[in-house]
């Protein structure tokens, strides 16, 4: 489940968003940020509204365990909180 909260942003909120995710990322923070543009899509583009908690559980891609996420918003605007609800998997544990 993914929660995108635009609470308190009544005029300056993003119209839509999508999330990308990756299990592994290597390099400097700058290199990871640049590579994140090609990560697989976890949440497809979804419409957002002002001052609202948006909960997305349908339509999420089955990517397996992920360690990194990238929130993309269009156009710019305010997001109060991003939450990803799932389960923690210990490193090296079999699925």
- The partner residues of 11 in beta bridges, in order of sequence, read none
Q: Is 22 within 8 Å of 66 (Cβ atoms)?
A: yes
Residue 48: which residues within 8 A CB-CB, separation 6 or more?
4, 6, 13, 14, 15, 16, 17, 54, 73
72, two tokens: 């993309």
* pLDDT tens digit sequence for 5-41: 999 999 899 999 999 999 888 889 899 888 999 999 9
Say what percent of the chain tops pLDDT 70.
96
| Whole-prediction pTM | 0.85
Q: What is the pLDDT of residues 33-73, one digit of tens each?
A: 889 999 999 999 999 999 999 999 999 999 999 999 999 99
CB atoms within 10 A of CB 13: 20
DSSP 8-class letter at 85: -
CATH superfamily of 2-84: Galactose-binding domain-like (2.60.120.260)
């Amino acid at each position: 489940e993914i929660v995108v909260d635009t609470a308190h942003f009544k005029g300056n909120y993003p119209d839509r968003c999508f999330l990308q995710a990756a299990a592994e990322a290597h390099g400097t923070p700058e290199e990871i940020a640049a590579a994140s543009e090609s990560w697989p899509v976890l949440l497809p583009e979804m419409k957002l509204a002002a001052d609202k908690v948006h909960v997305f559980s349908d339509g999420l891609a089955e990517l397996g365990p992920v360690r990194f996420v990238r929130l993309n918003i269009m156009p710019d605007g305010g997001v109060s909180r991003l939450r990803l609800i799932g389960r923690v998997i210990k490193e090296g544990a079999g699925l």
